[in-house]
Amino acid sequence: MKPIRCIAIDDEPMALLVIEQFCRRKGGLSLETFSEPHVGLEAIRRTRPELVFLDIRMNGLGGLEIADALPEECCLIFTTAHAQYALEGFNLDAVDFLHKPFAYERFEVAVERAFRRIESKRVPVTANLVVKQEYNNVSIPYGDILYVEALGNYVKIVRRSGGHVLTRTNLKTVADLLPERSFLRIHRSYVVSVEAVESFTRSRMTLRGGVSLPVGQQFVAAVFRVLG
């Protein structure tokens, strides 16, 4: 996958240095940094990056104003020492809110969330999973898949729009056909749509529509790493 194009805007050079170092450590990110908010906003308008790291309180032009002016396709992660702005940040559809000083592990969680949103935008809306049900090929849009369940020699694909498709195969085969960042294995018998997750603990996960599924012990670390 080609690198995610990123811009970071912060009037504190040390804060930009931390983001730069974390981006290099994470990999898959191509970053430009700007300490002058107006210049950074012009660069965003000119280059249309996929991901923007943005401080909120800056001299000259505030981060909330910049967020309001972002192109619709930009993913946004706020990076700020001022936690009281978190609600306003999420109202602007930010992917995440990093409270300074943040550790690399917390940064990685935020970036993984951004990756999933970016990938969902990159995948054509017509992208489908094609499986065989009895003697027919059935095409299911990725966005219509709520979860996938292993049932002996079969797999049940439960649809958000209602109903399900039953196909004779195994869970790993189906999981390998799904976009990696959009679906998550949570149990030896279940793969779920990440976008459908409403809440989770170390033992249970609730999806949209009130569907409750078990989280397998061996998958707990992966669940918290991706959704944490």
Region 158-173 average pLDDT: 94
Please, which residues have CB within 8 angstroms of residue 18's CB and are 6 or more apart in sequence?
Answer: 101
Per-residue model confidence as pLDDT tens digits over 94-117: 888 899 999 999 999 999 989 888
Q: What is the mean pLDDT of residues 170-195?
A: 92
Q: Domains of the chain, with CATH numbers?
A: 4-122 (3.40.50.2300), 128-227 (2.40.50.1020)
pLDDT for 87 equals 58
pLDDT in tens, 32-43: 999 999 999 999
* Other residues' Cβ atoms within 10 Å of the Cβ of residue 86: 15
* pLDDT confidence band for 61 (50 / 70 / 90): confident
Between 47 and 72, the more confident residue is 47
Alpha helices by DSSP H, the chain: 13-26, 37-47, 63-68, 86-91, 104-122, 171-177, 220-227
Contact call for residues 42 and 66 (beta carbons, < 8 A): no
**Most confident region among 63-77, 152-166, 169-183 by mean pLDDT:** 152-166
